[in-house]
Structure 1
Amino acid sequence: MPDDDESASETIATAEPLTEGPRASWWPAVEVIAVVALFFIYAADAPPMVNEAHYLVKAKNFWQPDWCANDLFTASGKAHTTFYFAFGWPTLFVSLEATAWIGRFVGWTLIAIGLYRLTTALIPLQFATLGVAVAWIAAIEYGNLAGEWVIGGIEAKVPAYGFVLAALAELVYRRWNRVWILLGIASAFHVLSGGWSVVAAAIAWLFCERLRAREDRKAFFTPALFLGGAIALIGVLPALWLTMDGGAVDSVRVARIYTFYRLPHHLLPSNFQFHWYVRHAVLLIAAITLAWITRRPIHAETRDHEGWNRFRAFAIGAILIAVFGLFLGGLKAYAPDLAAKLLRYYWFRLSDAVVALWFALLLLRCVALRRESKAIWISGVAGLAVCLVLVGISSFERMRLAVPPSASNATLGWDVNASPAKQQQVFEDWLKVCDWVRLATDRDEVFLTPRHQQSFKWYAERAEVVNWKDVPQDSKSLDQWYTRFREIYPERLSTIRVTIHYQSLLDYRKKYGVNYIIVDRRITGQHMPLVRVYPLAEHENKTYAVYELPYAMP
């Protein structure tokens, strides 16, 4: 890492954003609004998004504890209390759908403001933020390693990333005190997204400050660092408590369930598909190449050079975290229990987001170099055009499908090649059966639900025995979730359907207080040896049916 230039660092520490030409006071608002509009075009799917049905039902229960109170997931320990507190209160007044839209616009605006601050600190080009946003979206979607995303529905990591971006802008300006406080707020919203950012920022400090002369070095241990840590405890303590509140639950068993059974596609390197490594390597190589060809300061100045060095150091920190995670992945063959415990912490989450962001910023830096190098400018414009096409394709495909992402067959892993028209019909039938449940059953009823769904509580507002998506965070509930899932969706049925073994259904009624089972008739067939309560006419719902569980004979 090259040494910082002392005089340059003094300039950038107080400099205004690097932009060409005068700007009206309202111009930043225009640029932020344009970025939010881009996010809307890309991610304006009908709620719930993939994780919204997971986060917002939990947030609703946080503010209304009697809502789905007998659901294992909803009533389990609350890991993201800051998010639930800040974004869940609208559920007291409006629907979950309206809450999702409110949360999306707040979260997107936080990200847009942070991205504007960071971009204008590095790139002297009007509306560069919009180009960075396009490239960032494309790079994450088509270049991630472990399935990370940033622009989508509202969940805890979205506001966290907004504050991470704001912290990165301050890092560029060498305002370390503000960095630690903003990252503390990010950690309060999402412990891992914010916490890994703190580690990467500490690595950046080591690269960029440790080798400076003592009299010019910015201190690491400052009151602001401890203040940021204190703020982070708002999010850290609830999450830590959930991992410790397992009682007699075997912590190794719980870690293996979480890492190896439920979330290996995010956590376990050996579970990643080969082409994921290829696409991420291509993105990383592209970012490194762009960093090399743009290594000279823009317009032969030095004041932006130090900021780029600091951001690059942060990106290297994120990459080093991911590399260490890859090494931990190799432990599974030798120490699987230790690997399960350590790999729970999403080692690849930050690098997925930051490598893509580094690439996006460098791509726009190439566009800003028009006067210095036509070849570099052309490469930047071409790269940006490719990213725009990729984002356009993704947006069109989601609009064409016309069902919420949480209801798409690709997400649910069932009949993934079904046409949009067929998926829309199935979704309409899903809404019908959920409406019937909400209107025709008591609020405290518990249901057995189809394996390939994740939005029953969102639409029906009733508890369910177990749901694949809704995995609890506390050790005791997670262990119960695993036991229930293996029992309700047995391996002998390929875990794709609820067993209808008569004695098992009697046991479920006694054990879980469940009176009804909802079935996907595409899987179970049109008729079952149980009393059907919905639909009473076949044409009312061709996809889903509700049956009453049998009673034990006196």
Structure 2
Amino acid sequence: MNDARRQALLESALILLVFFIEGAYPVPDVNEPNYLGKAIHFWNPQWAAGDFFLESADAHYVFYFTFGWLSLLLSPLALAWTGRLLIWALLAWAWRRLSWALLPRRWYAVLTAALWVAGLNRFHMAGEWVIGGVEAKGFAYVFFLLGLEALVVRRWNKAWILFGASGAFHVIVGGWAVVAAGMVWFGMTLARRCVRTTPEDQAPDQHTKSARRATPLLTSPPAAAAGTSSPAAHPRDVAAEVPGPATSPSGPALIAPPSLKAMAPALLLGGLLALPGLVPVWMLNWGADPRVVAEANQIYVFERLYHHLDPLSFPPQFVLRFGLLAVGWVLLCRLTPADGPRRMLRRMTLAALLLAGTGTACGLLALLDRATAAGLLKYYWFRIPDAMLPLAAAFDAASLVALRRDTGRGFARWFWPAVFVGLAALHVVDLASIRPIPQAPRADKLPQFSHWRDLCDWIAQSEQIAPGATFLTPRQTHTFKWYTGRPEVANWKELPQDAAAIVEWYRRMKEIYAATRQDGTLKWLNWPDELPRRKIDRLAAQFGFRYVVSSQRVRLPYRIVYQNESYVLYELPRRDRPAPLQYRPCRGIGFVSSNLSL
């Protein structure tokens, strides 16, 4: 093994270690029960057969086909850890490639990885994360990073293909990557045409100043423009950035991107690769009543996922810290020269911030037209900005470290390296210190985790439970199916993806766990023992559940099958098979829909 390959393996292993420390929460993590539960059920329909969420429409077929089959061989716990290690290893490999395209120095890829996960963890605005549990977007971000690597070295055709592959796994990640890259392409093409309109006899310095005024963050400082290589100059771009017909000998080159005609085959191939991810999403609401879709959009955006989608609902401190990171990134851009690859990264980051601005405008539209705003906000405008801004800040911070180490003297040489290396180390060490401490999985929201596990393990192993029986569970539970393999009526976390099922899910939530206050607003209950017996009997007849899982706070008048210090399992009397459920509109959302059978 030669030195270069050994160095690559060592750096990739250290990056994997950083990602492991960042994401090694106990299984199952936040979204693993629903993503992996769907994958398990896809390959084994008998697992939790009859569960409302699992039998709703599927949106991530590529993830189920490429990874879900392992559920036939592995337990859910082993499946989760296998997926985590696979995704993190692929992300580590892709990150090192991107880092060396932007900052080709030994060990800097490890520093940038640590800075990136610190930024993701502590400066997100809309709750986006990349390093964590197993879900489709983890694989999508692998192709996103590889596509970004291709883009920063101006391999446009390769970038389109890789972004298409990203969209196959997760259409939101890949789709917004294509949109952002398209904005970069359009901006560069427009800038090139503007330069071409400049008189040929224009003074070189005047020409350069006008170009810099047009794109202050996208060009190099004078030292770099004059031929002084930045600390991370990429060899493939040095030759490409020689003065051409549309630039002056003393100014930064404005290299024209390929034409649409030249990129057409790659765009077509990328689109074809994305189709397996795009078509299932298109089919989710194919033929659905537009009123049902509009109602589902408002439930999706304003009732359930507002913390990811509605900018007016973001915590002010999250918006503030994201804004501070954006200001810090701009200052880093002013302090560090940028060669070709880092200029491309800055363009991509600006495009991502424009997406965030557009999403904010869509959020403001909700003050005038909630239905239209919901139809726009459901596309996760803030997902790519949440990932891209910490990424760009990490690379520009590392570039400043390299610059000061090369050109600084005395205190100035070590100040910024100490700051950013210290911040990265502090974040990683902080997380590493808590990893050995036993803790409940983040997906478990109920108190007394050990008692909850005892209950679920008993249900999973018991022969007293009737096959195919459905359970009424606490509203905030998310791991009942994960531990038991049994179906439940619904829970707050597991939101279906198709419009009809979203509306039905919200109807179930309201009918079971919503109480109306005197002022007309909803009060959400969490436990079945907060419901009167008459209501539980009616719900059992309506939804067909036979068992109720609740707390020990209040005893319900049913036969106790199992109990421990915190939880109790009740069995209801046998009933006739319930009539098929019919869709009914959710009152209070503002739409009237015709009946739609589920």
For the superposition of Structure 1 and Structure 2, which TM-score range results when normalised by the shorter chain? 0.7 to 0.9
Say yes or no: does 1:281 pair with 2:323.
Answer: yes
Query: How far has the Cα of 1:368 moved from its partner?
Result: 1.5
Cα pair 2:21 2:431 within 8 Å, conserved:
no
Cα pair 2:32 2:134 within 8 Å, conserved:
yes
Query: How far has the Cα of 1:209 moved from its partner?
Result: 4.2
Cα pair 1:167 1:182 within 8 Å, conserved:
yes
Q: Which moved more, 1:32-41 or 1:318-327?
A: 32-41
Q: Identify which of 530, 534, 541 aligns with 1:503.
A: 534
Say yes or no: does 1:533 pair with 2:557.
Answer: no
* 1:217-272 deviation digits (Å, cap 9, x = unpaired): 41234200111011111101101111335357621111110000000011111111
Q: Identify which of 472, 477, 494 aligns with 2:524.
A: 494
Q: Identify which of 46, 51, 74 aligns with 1:94.
A: 74
Question: What residue identity is the alignment partner of 2:369?
Answer: A
Q: Which residue of 1 aligns with 2:471?
A: 447
Query: How far has the Cα of 1:443 moved from its partner?
Result: 4.0
Q: Quick one: structure 1 residues 258 and 398, their matched pair in 2 at CA, closer, same or farther if it must change by over 3 Å?
A: farther
Cα pair 1:245 1:474 within 8 Å, conserved:
no
Q: Identify which of 10, 15, 19 aligns with 1:39.
A: 19
Question: What residue identity is the alignment partner of 2:67?
Answer: F
CA distance in 2, matches of 1:442, 1:84: 29
* 1:468-526 deviation digits (Å, cap 9, x = unpaired): 110000111111100101111122563222253223222222222210000023xx43x
Q: Which residue of 2 aligns with 1:542?
A: 565
CA distance in 2, matches of 1:36, 1:108: 6
Q: Which residue of 1 aligns with 2:378?
A: 344
Query: How far has the Cα of 1:404 moved from its partner?
Result: 1.4
Q: Quick one: structure 1 residues 141 and 382, their matched pair in 2 at CA, closer, same or farther if it must change by over 3 Å?
A: same
Question: What residue identity is the alignment partner of 1:265?
Answer: H
Q: Which residue of 2 aligns with 1:25?
A: 5
Q: Identify which of 362, 368, 385 aligns with 2:396.
A: 362
Say yes or no: does 1:459 pair with 2:462.
Answer: no
Query: How far has the Cα of 1:365 moved from its partner?
Result: 1.1
Say yes or no: does 1:428 pair with 2:462.
Answer: no
Q: Identify which of 253, 264, 271 aligns with 2:295.
A: 253
Q: Which residue of 1 aligns with 2:459?
A: 437
CA distance in 2, matches of 1:249, 1:94: 42
Query: How far has the Cα of 1:379 moved from its partner?
Result: 1.7
Q: Which residue of 1 aligns with 2:306?
A: 264
Q: Which residue of 1 aligns with 2:178?
A: 198
Cα pair 2:34 2:494 within 8 Å, conserved:
yes
Give percent identity, aligned residues only: 36
Q: Which residue of 1 aligns with 2:242?
A: none
Say yes or no: does 1:353 pair with 2:387.
Answer: yes
CA distance in 2, matches of 1:455, 1:443: 19
- The correspondence of residues 109-148 of structure 1 with structure 2, limited to 5 A, is 109-148=89-128
Q: Which residue of 1 aligns with 2:276?
A: 234
CA distance in 1, matches of 2:258, 2:495: 43
Q: Which residue of 2 aligns with 1:516?
A: 547
CA distance in 2, matches of 1:506, 1:312: 60
Question: What residue identity is the alignment partner of 2:549?
Answer: I
SS of structure 2 residue aligned to 1:545? strand
- The correspondence of residues 59-78 of structure 1 with structure 2, limited to 5 A, is 59-78=39-58
Query: How far has the Cα of 1:45 moved from its partner?
Result: 2.0
CA distance in 2, matches of 1:178, 1:373: 38
Bigger Cα Rg:
2
SS of structure 2 residue aligned to 1:529? coil
Q: Identify which of 360, 371, 374 aligns with 2:406.
A: 371
* 1:164-214 deviation digits (Å, cap 9, x = unpaired): 100111111110010000000000100101110111111122233443479
Q: Identify which of 493, 496, 518 aligns with 1:472.
A: 496
Q: Identify which of 246, 251, 259 aligns with 1:219.
A: 259
Cα pair 1:438 1:460 within 8 Å, conserved:
yes
Runs (5+) with no aligned partner, structure 2: 197-244, 246-255, 517-522, 577-598
Q: Which residue of 2 aligns with 1:207?
A: 187
Question: What residue identity is the alignment partner of 1:387?
Answer: A
CA distance in 2, matches of 1:245, 1:427: 43
Q: Which residue of 2 aligns with 1:49?
A: 29
Question: What residue identity is the alignment partner of 1:159?
Answer: F
SS of structure 2 residue aligned to 1:542? coil
Query: How far has the Cα of 1:552 moved from its partner?
Result: 6.5
CA distance in 1, matches of 2:357, 2:413: 30
Q: Which residue of 2 aligns with 1:104?
A: 84
CA distance in 2, matches of 1:334, 1:509: 41
Q: Which residue of 2 aligns with 1:301?
A: none
TM norm structure 2:
0.80
Q: Which residue of 2 aligns with 1:334?
A: 368
RMSD of aligned residue pairs (Cα, Å):
2.0
* 1:391-442 deviation digits (Å, cap 9, x = unpaired): 33244345435221212xxxx3x7xxxxxxxx6xx11111111111112224
Cα pair 1:246 1:474 within 8 Å, conserved:
no
Cα pair 1:187 1:236 within 8 Å, conserved:
yes
CA distance in 1, matches of 2:496, 2:50: 14
Q: Quick one: structure 1 residues 244 and 391, their matched pair in 2 at CA, closer, same or farther if it must change by over 3 Å?
A: farther
Q: How many matched pairs? A: 501
CA distance in 2, matches of 1:110, 1:48: 21
Cα pair 2:21 2:435 within 8 Å, conserved:
no
Question: What residue identity is the alignment partner of 1:502?
Answer: R
Q: Quick one: structure 1 residues 125 and 147, their matched pair in 2 at CA, closer, same or farther if it must change by over 3 Å?
A: same
Question: What residue identity is the alignment partner of 1:520?
Answer: S
CA distance in 2, matches of 1:271, 1:247: 28
CA distance in 1, matches of 2:318, 2:359: 15
Q: Which residue of 2 aligns with 1:391?
A: 428
TM norm structure 1:
0.87
